[in-house]
Amino acid sequence: MRDSRQLLALVEQCLPRVCTLHVLAAVPAPAAVNMGRCRPRTISPTLVMYQRTDTDTFEAAVEITE
């Protein structure tokens, strides 16, 4: 979880105008949930988390906003 917070802080620092961040994380579902939970509500971009489908494509699974 610490690494995801550091990554989000880096994105916010280097790309301050980003409104939406699309995330294709190669992590188990609980880790993806923790990524969304550690996101500061008022300053972070919206996170769109994707999941892999049975046909090896990706689809938006959840959007985490304020």
pLDDT digits (tens, 9 = 90+) for 10-28: 888 898 888 888 988 788 8
Please report which confidence band the pLDDT of residue 44 belongs to, taking 50, 70 and 90 as the band edges.
confident
C-alpha–C-alpha distance, residues 47 and 51, integer Å: 13
Q: What is the mean pLDDT of residues 23-35?
A: 79
For residues 5 and 40, what is the distance between their CA atoms, to the nearest angstrom? 9
Q: How confident is the model at residue 2 (pLDDT cuts 50, 70, 90)?
A: low
Give the H or E element holding residue 33.
helix 29-37
More reliable by pLDDT, 28 or 53? 53
- The pLDDT of residue 59: 93
